[in-house]
Chain A
């Protein structure tokens, strides 16, 4: 595909067989604090969607006084519309392992876990083979660090960091209360850095090319580039690494099918941007943040069906632990169905919006808190499609 407006980047998938080992030799000569300063300076924010500054996460965890610390790579990619981590793990796994090793060295962890979702079990053999030789390599280089893989078992909620820890510990994947944050009390109650797959590869690439080169790209709030998973009504569905800071309009002009009426940015838990807001909505932390999921909808799609699909997803994947999320997801779903059937007056949508906002305030974790994002943005912008 020929890009018209957007700048393509080739960092994540830059195929470099020796990249991981070169970078590891380089960081071995650096102090822990120098590595963390470089990460903070790069402005890299977590690429899983939440966008916490990666360097600060490392700094906080290093500052904890504990013999045991852990690095966890979150490869429980389950957000509808997101599929980039699968591609990264499939094509450049050693750069993921290198990122974990860099983080481990920087904070003083001896063990790293990669938590892989069960849907990606087909990658397991290949990853384990790569990992065996990688673990041997870093041992030879004198790193006191090893990586192990743990498998998920089909629960979306385990992408939530504290639920993921519970799962590795052998329990139901139910999120914990925060604080304490993982940097203080994470896996097995020890200080833990948990980063997304893509974030860890960027850490490797920042160590290779330097923070200055990384932050030349993007905007003040959204430094660097990002891997996007593009699907829906587009002739160019796939995985693209793009510089941050583009507007939705720029994005749609490159990836739309000429009839795009809405873009869901950030997956089912993200925001729906309607056509009238394309021009001034920036894709990044100053506008609509995203873990990379970009779903395009053209005018043939019913936004009622889209919202119903999302709510069915959340009602099923809610862990059921806290009432706002367990009951709220079901009520929102039943509510829009009742309005559609004409059993409830359209003004009932206002009550449902209040319920969604209440979930944002009262749900225990990010799942329940973010249901309001798609709900309110779709109901507000496509009210007629929900009612009629």
Chain B
């Protein structure tokens, strides 16, 4: 993991010490650390000369900018209509059993968080899930379990 100040400075260099650097900084922290801590939010606010409330308000607006602890691999199963009709409930059930967590929870070893999310743009190939940025379309319960087991072995 990279020091948060390194991420902040790297993004400021690229996007300027302006408000428009905020999203790239927050995205950079999530990409590196899976979620943003209170302490990190304060450091970002200080670096960009913004109020802490403003930074927190921006981060919490966006589903992918997590401010609560998340696992190393965040699994997001699509829950919107086409994936719902194609059987996303069975996928979630299978993953809950494999990871021994309920939807919304993180495994005790902090490796996986299981979530559902809105439409991911794979309606013709549902059910689909994202593991961090990777996409896994055309799932069956067996296929989803096999994919997650590969991550467990990592």
Residue B148 interfacial (CB < 8 Å): no
Closest to B133 in A: A121
The range of chain A's interface size is 35 or more
Q: Contacts of B135 on A, CB cut-off 8 Å?
A: 122
Min distance, Cβ A132 to any Cβ of chain B, angstroms: 14
Residue B65 interfacial (CB < 8 Å): yes
CA distance A239 to B58 in the complex (A): 35
With A169-B20, A170-B22, A173-B62 known as contacts, the answer to whether A151 contacts B124 (CB < 8 A) is no
Contact A229 B61 (CB under 8 A): no
Residue A82 interfacial (CB < 8 Å): yes
Q: Contacts of A127 on B, CB cut-off 8 Å?
A: none
Contact B119 A81 (CB under 8 A): yes
Give chain B interface residues in 48-67, CB to chain A under 8 Å: 57-58, 61-65
Give chain A interface residues in 192-246, CB to chain B under 8 Å: 229-233, 237-239
Contact B20 A170 (CB under 8 A): yes
Give chain A interface residues in 134-155, CB to chain B under 8 Å: 150-155
Contact B124 A171 (CB under 8 A): no
With A154-B117, A155-B63 known as contacts, the answer to whether A83 contacts B124 (CB < 8 A) is yes
Min distance, Cβ B149 to any Cβ of chain A, angstroms: 21
CA distance A127 to B17 in the complex (A): 25
With A81-B81, A232-B82, A306-B81 known as contacts, the answer to whether A119 contacts B120 (CB < 8 A) is yes
Q: Contacts of B63 on A, CB cut-off 8 Å?
A: 153-155
Contact B58 A170 (CB under 8 A): yes
**Chain A 161-189 near chain B by CB (<8 Å), digits 1 or 0:** 00000011111111000000000000000
Most-contacted residue by chain B among A154, A156, A301 (CB, 10 A): A154
Residue A53 interfacial (CB < 8 Å): no
Min distance, Cβ A120 to any Cβ of chain B, angstroms: 7
CA distance A70 to B118 in the complex (A): 30
Give chain A interface residues in 5-35, CB to chain B under 8 Å: none
Most-contacted residue by chain A among B61, B63, B125 (CB, 10 A): B61
Residue A310 interfacial (CB < 8 Å): yes
Q: Contacts of A306 on B, CB cut-off 8 Å?
A: 81
Min distance, Cβ B143 to any Cβ of chain A, angstroms: 18
CA distance A350 to B71 in the complex (A): 46
Contact A313 B134 (CB under 8 A): no
Give chain B interface residues in 73-121, CB to chain A under 8 Å: 80-82, 84-85, 117-121
Binding site for A on B (CB under 8 A): 18-24, 26-27, 57-58, 61-65, 80-82, 84-85, 117-126, 130, 133-135
Q: Which A-B residue pairs are the 5 nearest by beta carbons?
A: A154-B63, A153-B62, A170-B22, A154-B64, A237-B124
Cross-chain pairs A/B with CB under 8 angstroms, 19 sampled: A80-B80, A80-B118, A81-B81, A81-B82, A151-B27, A153-B23, A154-B62, A169-B19, A172-B58, A173-B61, A229-B124, A230-B124, A231-B123, A232-B82, A293-B123, A309-B81, A309-B84, A316-B118, A317-B118
Given pairs A153-B63, A170-B22, A319-B61, 6 additional interface contacts (CB within 8 A): A78-B118, A81-B119, A124-B133, A169-B20, A170-B18, A231-B123
Binding site for B on A (CB under 8 A): 77-83, 85-86, 117-122, 124, 150-156, 167-174, 229-233, 237-239, 268, 293, 295, 301, 305-306, 309-310, 313, 316-317, 319
